A and B are shown apart, each in its own frame.
Chain A
Amino acid sequence: MISIASVISNTLASATPIALAGVGGMFGERSGITNIGLEGTMLFSAFAAVVGCYYTQSPWVGLLLGIAVGVLVALFHAFFCISLKVDQTIVGLAVNILAASMTVYASSILFGNKGFTASVEKLPSISIPGLQDLPFFGAFFNDMSIITILVLPLTILAHILLYKSPFGLQTIAVGQNPQAAYVAGINVKRTQYLAVLLGGLSCGLAGSYLSISYLSMFVRDMVSGRGFIAIAAILFGRYTPFGIFCAALFFGLADAVQIALQGTISIPNEIIQCAPYLLTILAVTVNEARTAHRQAAI
């Protein structure tokens, strides 16, 4: 029997890192800097969060360290892409490769285990007063991670930042036509740097969520494609914060249904587990086909 409440709460839990990384990563995309390295940035942050938490016994310090490392990795990406003008995909791949090896290396040094780290204290989960007493939907407002609760407010904040603030409008202008933006007096490089760093910040949040809220430890390659699904969410959400938020919910739902279906129907688990990845390819394909169609109509 599939419990609707558990599907919904799993949807929110799975959508959280994708929405965060997607909405933050969107700023970089909008400024013209694609970040294939979202995956690696999240992995670095997830590890840093556990380290911070382990040595101070405080998940909040872990969260701060996770975010700081996310920003630092984004700075690395920004420096190579913007200042050195290296191919963006190559830099992103470099970040991913470095993250995959360095986190495992550091894990084996600090925790003596290559597969996973020590278990640490999680960030607090909160039940939303009022909503949790609702008759049917109450169950999934109960015991929600504090970062999951932050997703919607952050999406709204991103919307305001993108469309109502000088920075956001400058970011859009830079992404559409850097030369024109430069002539209009915008500091192109600074805008791009800020946009990429914003992506690092939210990837830091997303990575920390995975290791000190979703789980309570770091596991080797724990991001497992979420960074790339976040990029797909950016495309599918048409580069708008609410679009990305909805796309992330969609991917989260696919993941939750996948979890719920395991063992309940006669399809093997391995096939069910493919669903989110298959949907990602489909979503991007449909999206690009639609965009091409619309452009052809104009």
Chain B
Amino acid sequence: MPIVSQLFNRRGGQALTQVIIFLVSFLLAMVAGALLLLAQGHTDIVSVYYQLLIKPLLQSNGLFKVLVQATPLIFAGLAVAVAFKCDVFNIGVEGQLYAGALTAAYLGYALQGLPGPVHILICTVGAAAVGGVLALIAGWLKVKYRVHEVISTIMMNHIINNVVTLLVVDYFRNDGPTARTPTIADSARLTQLAPPTQLNTGFLLALLLCAALYVVFEKTPFGWQLNAAGKNLCAARYCGVNAKRLILTAMLISGAMAGLLGAERVLGGFGYLQVNFSPGYGYDGITVAVIAGNHPLGCLLMSLLMGLLTVGGTNLNVMTDVPSEWVDTLSAFIFIFVVAANAVLLYLPAWKEKRLMRERRGKA
């Protein structure tokens, strides 16, 4: 159906173009970051970038540290991308991941004496279910009452954060100075892949989900519907897409991913839930998904890069007077440049046409 494919082909999403856009944006962001450093009074910019981008990989276990940081970002990026694919913004990943983490932590220490795989399965499925249901509430409010999901999910982030804090501090508290739950049972622990780093089988699960989503997006009717609804909702409806059910399903999957993020951190990383443990994974997930253009493999690559930036940023924070927030600013810059470059590319043909029309009119 050539007409149908044309309807959905407004954005030129060729992989090569996207890669070039990303590389250019990355360079521009580095230039902008360098300007900030100069303003801060730094002159040795090359050394800062060396410590940020190269040095983490040369350290012992450096690569594993990067993978550890990348793991939650892969989950977060995929979570945002699934919803975003059909033009729904799940800003609530930050809240949903806490709910998932609390579920995993509670099931992890409350259930004892289960065989390992069963225990892990219960914890992860529980976390995914709780995260999914919370996202589903926002989706339901959207399709039923047309409540904008950005508002509902942001508000739910605040609510969930408060409730989780309350539950941890007052009900599931471990004796000790920090507000955290008791440590989970050994049977719920994910296998560590490269001690002493926190790299665990959760990373493999993230890779698996990446591949699974790639197949879903590219090869299944559901993926086609998501894509269609995101690009042209009217045309998608015309093709028989049930938009409401689609949005609900996308939100459910998105929330489940966020829940799994929480589970990975608890079962594979810390072994318990500590209040305010997330440095903003949910918001980083937005950056990852937008820069990756919602492509699962793009999300993977972008998460790896952000993981590298996080490790490098921590080093800079400790070794120099460059704070780790400089790195966050850097990724925000990449975000903005990618968005701008996409917009310019998208409207370039229209602008050209306009200029051509004007020239013709001038001649006539």
Using a CB–CB cutoff of 8 Å, the interface residues on chain A facing chain B are 36, 80, 84-86, 89-91, 93-94, 97-98, 100-102, 104-105, 108-109, 114, 224-225, 228-229, 231-232, 235, 268, 270-271, 273-274, 277-278, 280-281, 284-285, 288-289, 292
Contact = CB atoms under 8 A, between A and B. Distances in A.
B290 interface: yes
B343 A100 contact: no
Interface residues of B, number: 45
Given A85-B347, A268-B170, A225 B325 contact: no
Contact of A108 (B146, B323, B342, B346): B323
A89 B89 contact: yes
Contacts of B156: 277, 281
A292 B145 contact: yes
B165 interface: yes
Contacts of A235: 148, 151
B208 interface: no
A36 to B, nearest CB: 6
Contact of A97 (B141, B287, B342): B287
B340 interface: yes
B339 A91 contact: yes
Contacts, number: 121
B45 interface: no
B147 interface: yes
Contact of A281 (B155, B290, B344): B155
Given A114-B323, A273-B162, A278-B159, A97 B154 contact: no
Contacts of B146: 288, 292
Interface in B52-89: 89
24 contacts: A84-B340, A85-B347, A86-B339, A86-B343, A90-B290, A93-B89, A97-B335, A100-B283, A101-B328, A101-B332, A102-B332, A104-B328, A108-B325, A109-B40, A231-B148, A232-B151, A235-B151, A268-B170, A270-B166, A274-B159, A277-B155, A277-B159, A281-B152, A284-B148
Residue among B148, B163, B169, B335 with most chain A CB within 10 A: B148
A271 B147 contact: no
Contact of A105 (B91, B323, B343): B323
A101 B329 contact: yes
Enumerate the 10 nearest inter-chain pairs by beta-carbon distance, A residue then B residue, closest first. Answer: A101-B328, A270-B166, A105-B325, A84-B343, A277-B155, A108-B323, A270-B162, A98-B332, A277-B158, A86-B343
A57 B146 CA distance: 47
A110 to B, nearest CB: 10
A100 B347 CA distance: 30
B30 interface: no
B283 A284 contact: no
B336 interface: yes
B328 A94 contact: no
B21 interface: no
Contacts of A224: 158
Contacts of A229: 155
A281 B287 contact: no
Contacts of A85: 343, 346-347
Interface of B: 36, 40, 89, 91, 141, 145-148, 150-152, 154-156, 158-159, 162-163, 165-166, 169-170, 280, 283, 286-287, 290, 323, 325-326, 328-329, 331-333, 335-336, 339-340, 342-344, 346-347
Nearest to A105: B325
A288 B328 contact: no
Nearest to B344: A84
Contact of A274 (B162, B333, B344): B162
Given A85-B346, A98-B336, 19 more contacts: A80-B339, A84-B347, A86-B340, A90-B339, A98-B333, A101-B325, A102-B329, A109-B323, A114-B325, A225-B154, A225-B158, A277-B156, A277-B159, A280-B155, A281-B147, A281-B151, A281-B152, A285-B147, A288-B145
Nearest to A272: B162
Nearest to B323: A108
Contacts of A274: 158-159, 162-163
B343 A228 contact: no
A268 B342 CA distance: 48
B177 to A, nearest CB: 20
Nearest to B333: A98
B340 A289 contact: no
Contacts of A285: 141, 145, 147
B151 A231 contact: yes
Contacts of A93: 89, 91, 286, 290
A100 B156 CA distance: 19
Contact of B165 (A100, A228, A270): A270
B349 to A, nearest CB: 13
B348 to A, nearest CB: 11
Contacts of A91: 339
A292 B145 CA distance: 8
Contacts of A289: 145
B325 to A, nearest CB: 4
Contacts of B333: 98
Contacts of B340: 80, 84, 86
A135 to B, nearest CB: 38
B170 to A, nearest CB: 7
Contacts of B347: 84-85
Contacts of B339: 80, 86, 90-91, 94
